[in-house]
Amino acid sequence: MKETVSKTFREIYGAADDVRSYFAPGRVNLIGEHTDYNGGHVFPCALSYGTYAAAARRNDRKLRFYSVNFPGNGVTESSVGDYRPLRDKSWTSYMKGVMWALAGRGFEMDCGLDIVIGGDIPAGAGLSSSAALEVLTGIMLRDMFGFDISNQEIALLGQKAENEYCGLNCGIMDQFASAMGRKDHAIFLDTSDLSFQYVPFVLQDEVLIITNTNKKHSLKDSAYNDRRRECGEALEALRKVTDAEALCDLSPEDFEGNKDAIKDPVCLRRARHAVYENRRTIEGVRALEAGDLEEFGRLMNASHVSLRDDYEVSCRELDILAETAWEIPGVLGSRMTGGGFGGCTVSIVKKEAADEFCRVVGETYREKAGFDCTFYVVSPGGGPEVF
């Protein structure tokens, strides 16, 4: 993809003197879902799949964007300082949003750019193609204009762009995983204070398989913002009887002792998911560090059940994938990953069972869902790169 992006740059804009190339990864979350805006823990890793850019400075203030993934859109033009969002929610909004967020911090671009983007993460698959694009933009502008900003700050500005510019109230997990990824490691991140630890994640006798439902999650943004609101309501009720500042400040024991304060049954279930998912994430990392991958897998399965029943962010297609996987010998764990309502599952499967996994899950899915899923065998990749 890197070569395709560079070649496309020359085709679209012609040869330029100093064309630079950049990469930022997508991510898969192993466990800790919908905890990152509740002050809880998450455990994602970066992927070797991601988004690439080729870019060159211009002599004026014009910005030109082109994506090899959306050739039909052609070249979109804008200019430095004009950060009015484009109404069509085009992919350029993620880039302009980061430019806007950087400018808000005093990081002004002193000229325009010609940019070509290309990604090999399937869009809308819940593998954070948008966070990768945001982080990519931050890395690219830092390099082009010499901005003094850390990867972690780039992640935070990416989240700000997504929240305030693009209108999705996401947490910090995706941008953090993309900006801070480390090869062969997952990131155990406490979103309450952004303290984190790299945990080695190298499988010996197993493989990590991402299965894409190939179902686009159209309802995702509005339902995601609804979940945040419901968690906020649950927290408000709990604050009357505890000193919790976020749902995940509560242990399951604290929660059980105080949950009657939440009158709305829906908000109660949302809060229960957040509190127990946070506990599962902490226990999962402990199990992994102790070499107990079977326990990690059981926690993954429990995470899916909670996301399906209490948090209600799964969907029929994700349930078919996870529930089919659970029945296959050699599958240690399988769960939906990311925001939900479509996208992917992540599974840990014994090497010798991987072919059977793909065959049985693939056939069952086609039969029940009516279309095909796609498999990717992955391992934790590194963070962003400047080539």
Contact residues: ligand GLA, CB under 6 A? 33-34, 36-37, 170-171, 173-174, 338-339
End-to-end, the C-alpha distance of the chain in Å comes to 13
Q: Which residue number, 44 or 112, has a Cβ lying nearer to ligand GLA? A: 44
Give the nearest distance from C-beta 89 to ligand GLA in angstroms. Answer: 15
Our answer to whether residue 193 is catalytic in this structure is no
φ, ψ for residue 115, nearest 5 deg:
-130, 135
With beta carbons less than 8 A apart as the criterion, state whether 26 and 50 touch.
yes
Smallest separation, CB 337 to ligand GLA (Å): 8
Contact 155, 42 (CB under 8 A): no
Cβ count within 10 A of residue 72: 5
Instruction: Tell me 61's DSSP state.
Output: S
Q: How far is the CB of 281 from ligand GLA (least distance, A)?
A: 10
| Catalytic option among 36, 114, 174, 249 | 174
6-11 long-range Cβ contacts below 8 angstroms, 24+ apart: 6/54, 8/54, 8/66, 8/68, 8/116, 8/118, 9/54, 9/55, 9/56, 9/114, 9/116
Q: Are strands 62-67 and 113-119 parallel, antiparallel or unpaired?
A: parallel
Q: Are 65 and 117 in contact (CB under 8 A)?
A: yes
10 Å CB burial of residue 175 (0-12, 13-18, 19+) is buried
Least spacing, CB of residue 330 vs ligand GLA, in Å: 27
Least spacing, CB of residue 171 vs ligand GLA, in Å: 3
CA 25 – CA 268 distance, rounded (Å): 35
**Min CB(133)–ligand GLA separation in Å:** 13
Provide the 10 A C-beta neighbour count for residue 15.
8
Taking CA atoms, 258 is separated from 36, 255, 263, in Å, by 22, 5, 11
Residue 316 is encoded by which pair of tokens?
């029929």
Q: Of 339 and 342, which has the nearer Cβ to ligand GLA?
A: 339
Which residue, 116 or 132, is less far from ligand GLA as judged by CB?
132
Cα distance between residue 278 and residue 377, in whole Å? 27
In this structure, the strands spanning 331-337 and 344-350 are: antiparallel
Q: Smallest distance from the beta carbon of 108 to ligand GLA, in angstroms? A: 28
Q: Tokens at residue 250, please?
A: 């509560």
The residue (of 206 and 230) whose beta carbon lies closer to ligand GLA is 230
Strand partners for 331: 349
- SS3 call for 18: coil
The answer to whether the beta carbons of residues 46 and 380 sit under 8 Å apart is yes
Closest distance between ligand GLA and the C-beta of residue 168, in Å? 7
Tokens of 69: 């993934």
> What 8-state DSSP symbol labels residue 231?
H
Query: Would you please indicate which residues are annotated as catalytic (active-site) residues?
Result: 174
